[in-house]
Structure 1
Amino acid sequence: MYMAGMLLGSLVGGVLADRYGKRPVLLVCLSVQAACGLVPAVLPQPFVFLAVRCLTGVCCSCITNCSFSLAVEWTAPSARLWPPVFLGFCFSLGTMGGALLAWLSPSWTQLHLSLALPQFICLPLYRSIPESPSWLVLMGRMDVLYLYCNRSEADKQCVDLLVGSNSLEKTKVPAAPKEQPPNDLPLRHPTILLRLTIMSYLGAVTALTYFGICMNIGSFGVNVYSAQFFSGLSEAPCLLVPLVRLDRRPMSMLTLFLSGTACFLSLLLSRYQCDAMLVMSGALVGKFCILVTIFVLALYSIELFPTVVRQRCVSAINLCFRLGCLFSTLFPGNPEGTISLAAMLIYSSGPIIGCGLCLLLPETSGTPLPNSMEDCHKPPQHPLERTRKLQSQPPAAVATGECKRTHNSCQPV
Structure 2
Amino acid sequence: MENYEEITSFLGEWGRFQKCVFFLLSLTFIPHGYLNLSMVFLAATPQHHCEVSYTYGENISDYIPYEGTSGDRVLSRCRRYKHLNGTAASWANETEGCLDGWRFSADTYKSTIVTEWSLVCEDSWKAPFASSVLFFGVMAGSLISGQVSDRFGRKLVFFGSLVLMNTFAVLQALSSSWEWYCTFYFFVGMARTSSYISGFILGSELLGKSTRVLFSSLGVCICYALGYTCLPIFAYFIRDWRMLLMALTIPGFLCIPLWWIIPESPRWLLSHGHVDKADAIIRAIARKNGVDAPEIIFKTEDGSQLLGKTAPQRVYTIIDLIRTTNIRNITILNTIIWIVTSMTYYGLSLNTPNMGGDPYLNCFISAVSEIVAYVATWLFMRYTVRRFTLIFLFLLSGVTLLIIKFVPDELDAVVLVLVMVGKGGITAAYCFIYIYSTEMFPTVLRNTGMGAISTATRVGTILSPYIAYIGDYNKVAPYILMGSVTVSVAFLSLLLPETKDSELPELISQVKPIMWCDSESRPSCFHKQTLLSKCASKKSERACTDSLSRESEVSPS
- Range into which the TM-score falls when normalised by the shorter chain: 0.7 to 0.9
What letter is aligned with 1:72? S
Instruction: Specify the alignment match of 1:209 in structure 2.
Output: 344
What do the CA deviations read for 1:161-210 (whole angstroms, capped 9, x no partner)? xxx998713459999x9765226446311111111111111101111111
From 222, 230, 254, the equivalent of 2:392 is 254
Deviates more, 1:317-326 or 1:45-54: 45-54
What do the CA deviations read for 1:258-282 (whole angstroms, capped 9, x no partner)? 111111123443xx31422321221
What letter is aligned with 2:267? S
| Partners of 2:397 and 2:421 within 8 A in 1 | yes
Higher relative contact order (CA 8 A, sep 6+): 1
Instruction: Specify the alignment match of 2:252 in structure 1.
Output: 119
Give the TM-score taking structure 2 as reference length: 0.62
Unaligned runs of 5+ in 2: 1-132, 516-557
What letter is aligned with 1:314? M
From 19, 37, 47, the equivalent of 2:151 is 19
In structure 1, distance between residues paired with 2:469 and 2:405 = 11
From 224, 232, 241, the equivalent of 2:367 is 232
What do the CA deviations read for 1:367-397 (whole angstroms, capped 9, x no partner)? 11101133225999xxxxxxxxxxxxxxxxx
Instruction: Specify the alignment match of 1:386 in structure 2.
Output: none
| Partners of 2:376 and 2:428 within 8 A in 1 | no
Following TM superposition, by how much is the alpha carbon of 1:351 offset from its aligned partner in structure 2, in angstroms? 2.0
Q: 1:173 to 1:32 in 2, by over 3 A?
A: closer
| SS of equivalent residue, structure 2 residue 273 | coil
Structure with greater Cα Rg: 2
Give the TM-score taking structure 1 as reference length: 0.82
| SS of equivalent residue, structure 2 residue 444 | coil
Unaligned runs of 5+ in 1: 381-413
| SS of equivalent residue, structure 1 residue 205 | helix
Following TM superposition, by how much is the alpha carbon of 1:158 offset from its aligned partner in structure 2, in angstroms? 9.8
Following TM superposition, by how much is the alpha carbon of 1:299 offset from its aligned partner in structure 2, in angstroms? 0.8
Higher strand share: 2
1:242 aligns with 2:378: yes
Following TM superposition, by how much is the alpha carbon of 1:320 offset from its aligned partner in structure 2, in angstroms? 2.4
What do the CA deviations read for 1:318-363 (whole angstroms, capped 9, x no partner)? 122211111223323577895243x333312222222222221111
Q: 1:48 to 1:64 in 2, by over 3 A?
A: same
Instruction: Specify the alignment match of 1:52 in structure 2.
Output: 184
1:109 aligns with 2:242: yes
In structure 1, distance between residues paired with 2:345 and 2:252 = 27
Q: 1:165 to 1:280 in 2, by over 3 A?
A: farther
In structure 2, distance between residues paired with 1:379 and 1:359 = 9
What letter is aligned with 2:220? L
In structure 2, distance between residues paired with 1:355 and 1:47 = 39
What letter is aligned with 1:96? T
Following TM superposition, by how much is the alpha carbon of 1:68 offset from its aligned partner in structure 2, in angstroms? 1.4
Q: 1:350 to 1:46 in 2, by over 3 A?
A: closer
Deviates more, 1:26-35 or 1:239-248: 239-248
In structure 1, distance between residues paired with 2:230 and 2:301 = 48
| SS of equivalent residue, structure 1 residue 140 | coil
Deviates more, 1:98-107 or 1:368-377: 368-377
| Partners of 2:321 and 2:328 within 8 A in 1 | no
In structure 1, distance between residues paired with 2:346 and 2:239 = 27
Deviates more, 1:150-159 or 1:275-284: 150-159
| Partners of 2:139 and 2:455 within 8 A in 1 | yes
| Partners of 2:387 and 2:496 within 8 A in 1 | yes
Q: Residues 46-85 of structure 1 correspond to what in structure 2 (within 5 A)?
A: 46-85=178-217
| Partners of 2:270 and 2:303 within 8 A in 1 | no
What do the CA deviations read for 1:117-158 (whole angstroms, capped 9, x no partner)? 222233212442222232111101222212212324266899
From 287, 299, 302, the equivalent of 1:169 is 299
Q: 1:361 to 1:152 in 2, by over 3 A?
A: closer
| SS of equivalent residue, structure 1 residue 339 | coil
Instruction: Specify the alignment match of 2:315 in structure 1.
Output: 181
1:293 aligns with 2:423: no
From 273, 280, 284, the equivalent of 1:147 is 280
What do the CA deviations read for 1:293-340 (whole angstroms, capped 9, x no partner)? 111111111111112222221112112221111122332357789524
| SS of equivalent residue, structure 1 residue 228 | helix
Instruction: Specify the alignment match of 1:320 in structure 2.
Output: 456
In structure 2, distance between residues paired with 1:236 and 1:4 = 27
| Partners of 1:255 and 1:290 within 8 A in 2 | yes
In structure 2, distance between residues paired with 1:267 and 1:158 = 59
Instruction: Specify the alignment match of 1:138 in structure 2.
Output: 271
CA-based RMSD: 3.0
| SS of equivalent residue, structure 1 residue 367 | coil
Higher helix share: 1
What letter is aligned with 2:230? G
Instruction: Specify the alignment match of 1:40 in structure 2.
Output: 172
